[in-house]
Every structure is written in C-alpha cells, then in structure tokens.
Amino acid sequence: MLLQAGIPGGIELLVFNVIVAALVVYFTYNDARTRGANAVLWAGVMGLASLFLNIVGFLLVFAVYYVIVVRD
C-alpha cells in the first residue's frame, strides 16, 4: 500500500522503524532486568513509544516533502 501511494522509501522506512523499535526493546529489557524493575512492562512501553514516535516523525517529514516537492 505504501508503494501504491507513491511515498518515497515507504517499505524501507517501515522496516527500519521496526528494527529500531526492536533494538529499543532489547536494550530497555536488559537494563530494566539488571535494575530489578518490571522488564517486560518497560520494554513493551518503550517499544510502543518508539514505534509511535517514529511514525509521528515520518508524518512530519512527509508533510514537509509534500509541501516542497508535490505541491509545486
């Protein structure tokens, strides 16, 4: 669907965001486990926050791209 919408780098950006979120989950889980906190809760919250913030950043960049390139 992203490729059909003509979004540049759509599927690659999605894969990159998932990889970044997985890394955030991994390192957060390990850190919370060593500190004695609820590791699963911390990892889940940080993973979801990472995905959400990546999507917000993508939408912001796409809006700028649309205003500069597409609207002309």
pLDDT of residue 7: 60
Contacts by residues 36-44 (CB-CB < 8 Å, ≥ 24 positions apart): none
Binning the chain into helix, strand and coil, the percentages to the nearest 5 are 80, 0, 20
Q: Report the predicted TM-score, pTM, of the whole model to 2 decimal places.
A: 0.69
Tens-binned pLDDT, residue by residue, of the chain (72 aa): 454 556 666 677 788 889 999 999 999 999 999 999 999 999 999 999 998 888 888 888 888 888 888 776
Q: Which two tokens stand for residue 58?
A: 């993508």
Question: Is residue 33 within 8 Å of 39, Cβ to Cβ?
Answer: yes
Question: Is residue 30 within 8 Å of 42, Cβ to Cβ?
Answer: no
